[in-house]
Structure 1
Amino acid sequence: MSPHPALDPWLDRVAQMAQAAIELRPQTPSDMIGDVDRIASATDLLADRMLALVGPDRAELRPSRVRHDLRTPLNHVLGYGEMLREDLAGTLAEPQVARLLQLARQVLEGIDDLVETVLSGGTRTPPPPAVRDLQPPALTRDQRAGRILVVDDNEANNDLLRRHLERLGHRVTQADDGEFALELLASAPTGRGSDRPFDLVLLDIVMPGMDGIEVLRAIKRDERWRDLPVLMISSLDELGAVARCIELGAADYLTKPFEPVLLRARVSACLEARRLRDQEVDYLTRIEQERQRAADLLRVILPDPIVDELERTNEVKPRRHDRVAVLFCDIVGFTRYCDAREPEEVLPHLQRLVVAWEQAAMANGLLKIKTIGDGFMAASGLLHRVENPVERCVRCAEELVREVRALAMHDGEEGWSVRIGVHVGPVVAGVLGHRQFQFDLWGDTVNTAARVEQHGTPDAITLSMPAWEELAQLGAVGTPLGAVHAKGKGALELVRFERF
């Protein structure tokens, strides 16, 4: 008899558990004897801790700590017992394992009443709960195996979790304290999907040194691991701490002693949630990549300030710009050149020429407006005010002429030449279309620049009188060409640029 009558029925059940382990040993294959011995050691520890309830230090015992200390060896009995029941299914030893598990669950269900009665000094013997055989369904390997970090300072708990998880097909890494767990995370390479070192953390709440709550807080503070799901492991009387963990970002919790079925269900749910989260991140990443690709393509078609306005307001309002220099460039005799050659021969030459013109425009601060066949249009002083827009156009035009000559010599295309016209004045700029955007300029300045180019001379830069007057102030030298009759404009005074 124990010093307290309330202990007697529970000590009797623990003794029956120990006897069941002794009788089970001869029926167990040699490679499983270690699990039987662990069960026997756990029952001895459970009996010692029950007797400590009526020992000389009972006044210093805290109920929550006592419940934790009693459940820990029970967790080991149930954990190793469940693995033995699975391994010994269909053998003569299976009923003995089932009986041992029934006794362990009886004790587990009565722990709260036992602790309350004994520590309060009462003599009431709690009624033994009904014996139930919680036969779990057969566990199969999870279809989606994960990489799981198990953090528990108790060696047996760590071993049980590892073995259960490995039976389900997961890869397990173990840490016996919080500091080591954080070291493992810090030293592991970061990645996504199959490159990620861990998919889930199983984290005990009560540990010496850094407890589970501190570890969880550190994980959620680190942006590398903030999205890593954490499954907390707790005793039944730690639900307040569990609630704090959920508030800190834990995905779920598992109480000790844990049922293998619940372990699998909650681990699988966490891994599935992580997989879905990864899919969502990948989907959003692809959307952002496509959006960025579309934005980059749009910036090839439209100037950056126009794209910025379009992204902000979903529209671009037409605007008037004063003192803009407009340049037109056209290849002389290009139609005859094309008629004498196949398109496959013409296009590479034209492509090299247009690329060279675009580079010349950028180098001189001009904005390319468009390319129309063999024609090229650019402007200076449009989106950003410049001091001498006409000068920029003329210096760009000099490069355009040089590029045509260089390309003709390189490809043996003698006779290639260009006409270039420049005019300055106000323009209206805006975007046309909704599906195929086009940034363009309108107004009399644009029409006049086109007429200046049409009436110019090959391999020369022709300016309208307003454009020449600005350029002449910089000391440029030019040759007056007199007045020409331009369609829709009447008389138009032109000057051919010679040099600066």
Structure 2
Amino acid sequence: MYIARIAQNIVDPAQAILGYQELITEEVREAGPSDALPDLEKILSAARELNALIKRLLDVETPDSRNAPSLDRLLRHDLRTPMNAILGYSEMLIEDFADTLPARLLEDIAKVIHEGRNLLAQIDETLDRSVETEEESQPKFDGTIAADLARTMAVRPSPVTEYAGRILIVDDTAANRELLSRRLHRDGHAVVAASSGEEALRILDRQEFDLVLVDVLMPGMNGIELLGRLKSDRRFREIPVVMVSGLTDDDAVARCIKAGAEDYLRKPINPVLLRARIAACLERRRWRARENQYLAQIEFEKERANALLHAVLPKQVIKRLAEGEEVIADRIDMVTIIFADIVNFTEFAARTPAAALVRRLGDLFTRFDALADQYGIEKIKTIGDAYMAAAGLPDPRADHALAAVAFAKALLAEPSGTLGCGPPFLLRVGIHSGPVIAGLIGRKRFAYDVWGHTVNVASRMESCGIPGRIQISQTTFDALGEGRVNARREIMDIRGIGKYTTYLLE
């Protein structure tokens, strides 16, 4: 009864399609236009294949649980392949030869299209009724296929503006590939076709595409397996994939979408729906590409901002700001402050062009910055032609005085006269150790700075020093440890401080 009911519903439309097509083809062979014959021959061949498949269905007398899935495959998938060719080529004939074919032939072609759609409706209606009347254990082809393909699945989860794209078609049926290619070429797309999933992967290795159309049921690598391969490969995962199949149940659609498909089209493909879905997918891809560009630009700007921030502030301070600390202020018990000043810079600046002056001073301080990194010294700021740095902050260190003196000696040894014209710069360096307060001040052009008596004394050590030498305080000398340096002890009368013991390093 199951087969008889199916046969009764689909035999007559199939025979009508073949009959009309034989008449149309015969008349065009006799009267032309000859350009229409290649497509008419393809339709005729598909109509004969359709009737042969239905005859094969009628030859099956008693389906049981073993051959019911194969019958469902015949109905839900195999019959749709010739139907796809019949409807697709017929619709293109009307579009291409509307002005050259006689009106009666155009009417006959329209009847072929009508009977084709009627046959598909009969198949779906018959199968839907069979599902309702058969026991729940009745095998279903769609469910069988979905279960068979589940092992290959990779779980993932406005107005349309059309624009041309590069599209890859993957289908094992030549007629389906040709129909889709011709349709898409007409819409201005560049199209490449593959007959299998394996071939599609080879093509994707060599070429870039904006969209892939994939048939679900293919021998070898099936459509969902190919979809999983694409979505698991970082090179291809952003390419939208539209699945194409004769499977009609919602579960098949849901499984394809869950596996990563952008959309799903049922065979035979409606050309209007095809055009709309492809335009929507390409538009979404274009927006994604634009979004990725914006995100890349944001990331670039973020990296630039971070680099600028690291050039201005110590990394420890940046970390504290990132963690939400609003007021950065610390009292550090023992730090060594270094001041280095260029001797007679005012006179040099007066006789030097501005660009040359800035370039030479920039070169010098850039090399000082590199030395600060090398010796673990924190640059605080430049004040005109003076360079201020500290050892032992933001993180305290026991050897702050030793590090400061080693850094100061490196500053004096820096061959500052090798760049640019003119005589080499001569430095005067002063160092003092003691407690300071360090913190971040300001909201506009903010700065990490240090304050306290220790800073003032270090500045006096520099201003009262001798060109080309390093002068340190008693506190710094004591912090260095006995016998660490050779120095000449002096008692100086320092403005704002009074009598003060200092050491001029040898």
Give yes or no for TM over 0.5: yes
Match of residue 421, structure 2, among 398, 411, 418: 411
1:348 counterpart = 2:351 = no
Q: CA deviation at 1:401?
A: 2.1
1:332 partner letter: V
SS, match of residue 245 in structure 2: strand
Distance 1:7 1:327, change over 3 A: closer
Corresponding residue number in structure 2 for 1:302: 313
Please say if residues 14 and 119 of structure 2, whose CA atoms lie closer than 8 Å, have aligned partners that are also in contact: no
The one of 86, 89, 104 aligned to 2:95: 86
> Structure 2 vs 1, CA of residues 435 and 118 (structure 1 numbering), >3 Å: closer, same or farther?
closer
Asked if 1 retains the 8 angstrom alpha-carbon contact of 2:329 and 2:439, the reply is: yes
Aligned match of 1:50: 54
Contact in 2 for aligned 1:6/1:117 (Cα 8 Å): no
**Contact 2:9/2:122 (8 A) holds in 1:** no
- Preserved CA contact (<8 Å) 1:147 1:172: yes
TM-score, length-scaled by structure 1: 0.86
CA contact (8 A) 1:484 1:494 kept: no
Report the equivalent of 1:225: 236
CA contact (8 A) 2:440 2:448 kept: yes
From 199, 221, 227, the equivalent of 1:210 is 221
| Alpha-carbon separation, structure 2, partners of 1:14 and 1:323 | 99
* Alignment check: 8 A CA contact 2:162 2:283 kept: no
Give the Cα–Cα distance (whole angstroms) in 2 for the partners of residues 24 and 434 of structure 1. 88
Task: For residue 237 of structure 1, give the secondary structure of its aligned residue in structure 2.
Answer: coil
- Cα distance, 1:463 vs structure 2: 0.4
What's the counterpart of residue 475 of structure 1?
A: 484
The letter for the 2-side match of 1:495 is: Y
Q: Give the secondary structure class of the aligned counterpart of 1:476.
A: coil
Of the candidates 249, 260, 274, which is equivalent to residue 249 of structure 1? 260
Distance 1:166 1:316, change over 3 A: farther
After TM superposition, the structure 1 stretch with the greater mean CA deviation from structure 2, 99-108 or 240-249, is 99-108
1:419–1:453: 8 Å Cα contact kept in structure 2? yes
Unaligned runs of 5+ in 2: 134-160
Q: Given residue 50 of structure 1, which amino acid in structure 2 is its aligned partner?
A: I
* Greater alpha carbon shift after TM alignment, 17-26 vs 439-448: 17-26
Partner Cα separation in structure 2 for residue 225 and residue 342 of structure 1: 58
Native 8 Å contact 1:21 1:39 kept in 2:
no
1:336-372 CA distances to partner (integer Å, 9 max, x unpaired)?
3323444234223322222232223222221211111
> What are the Cα deviations for residues 152-177 of structure 1, in whole angstroms up to 9, with x where unaligned?
11111111111111111112222222
**Residue 298 (structure 2) aligns with:** 287
From 492, 496, 499, the equivalent of 1:491 is 499
Q: In structure 2, do the counterparts of structure 1 residues 345 and 159 end up closer, same or farther at CA, with 3 Å as the change threshold? A: closer
Opposite residue 374 of structure 2, the aligned amino acid is A
2:377 paired with 1:374: no
Counterpart amino acid of 1:420?
V
What is aligned with 2:279?
A: 268
In structure 2, the partner of 1:193 is: none
> Residues 401 and 410 of structure 1: is their aligned pair in 2 closer, same or farther, counting only changes over 3 Å?
farther
CA contact (8 A) 2:9 2:123 kept: no
- Which of 103, 106, 109 is the aligned partner of 2:115? 103
- Alignment-derived partner of residue 158 in structure 2: none
Cα 1:344–1:277 shift into 2, 3 Å: closer
**Shift in CA distance, 480/408, structure 1 to aligned 2, threshold 3 Å:** farther
Q: Which amino acid counterpart does residue 36 of structure 1 have in structure 2?
A: L
Match of 1:437 among 436, 446, 452: 446
> Map of 1:82-161 to 2, 5 A cutoff?
82-93=91-102, 94-113=106-125, 144-161=163-180
Who is 1:33 aligned against?
A: 37
Q: Return closer, same or farther for 1:365/1:119 CA change in 2, 3 Å cut-off.
A: closer
Deviates more, 1:361-370 or 1:74-83: 361-370
Moved more, 222-231 or 8-17: 8-17
The yes-or-no answer on 1:359 pairing with 2:377 is no
- One-letter code aligned to 2:72: S
TM-score where L is the length of structure 2: 0.85
Structure 2 partner of 1:124: none
Aligned equivalents of 1:24, 1:109: Cα separation in 2: 29
3-state SS, counterpart of residue 183 of structure 2? helix
Alignment of 1:305-344 (within 5 A): 305-313=316-324, 315=326, 317-344=328-355
Cα distance between partner residues in 2 of 1:115 and 1:50: 15
* Residue 14 of structure 1: aligned partner: 17
SS in 2 for 1:231: strand
1:428 CA displacement = 2.0
Partner of residue 460, structure 1: 469
CA contact (8 A) 1:6 1:118 kept: no
- Segment of structure 1 superposing worse, 463-472 or 312-321: 312-321
Shift of the 325–297 alpha-carbon distance from structure 1 to 2, 3 Å rule, reads same
Work out the percentage of aligned pairs sharing the same amino acid. 39
Aligned to 1:131: none
Is residue 234–residue 242 contact of structure 1 (8 Å, CA) maintained in 2?
A: no
> Is residue 491–residue 499 contact of structure 2 (8 Å, CA) maintained in 1?
no
The answer as to 2:181 corresponding to 1:173 is no
Confirm or deny: 8 A CA contact 2:17 2:112 kept in the other structure: no
Change (3 A) 1:99 1:479: same
Change (3 A) 1:69 1:252: same
Q: Aligned-residue CA RMSD in angstroms?
A: 2.8
Counterpart code for 1:37: E
Q: Secondary structure at the match of 2:323?
A: helix
Superposed CA deviations along residues 195-240 of structure 1, whole A, max 9, x for unmatched, are xx01111111111222212221222222222222110112152432
> Which residue does 2:407 correspond to in 1?
396
Q: Secondary structure, in 3 states, of the residue corresponding to 1:313? A: coil
Q: 1:309·1:316 contact (CA, 8 Å) conserved in 2?
A: no
Partner SS, residue 414 of structure 2? helix
Q: CA deviation at 1:310?
A: 2.4
Say if 1:430 and 1:441, in contact at 8 Å, map to a contact too.
Answer: yes
2:334–2:433 contact (8 Å) kept in structure 1: yes
Alpha-carbon contact 1:14-1:47 (below 8 Å) kept: no
Displacement of 1:113 in angstroms is 3.8
Identify unmatched segments of 5+ residues in structure 1.
122-141, 190-196
Cα 1:78–1:28, aligned 2, differ >3 Å: closer, same or farther?
Answer: farther
Residue 421 (structure 1) aligned to one of 412, 426, 430: 430
Whole-angstrom distance in 2 between the partners of 1:388 and 1:292: 34
8 A Cα contact 1:366 1:378, kept in partner: yes
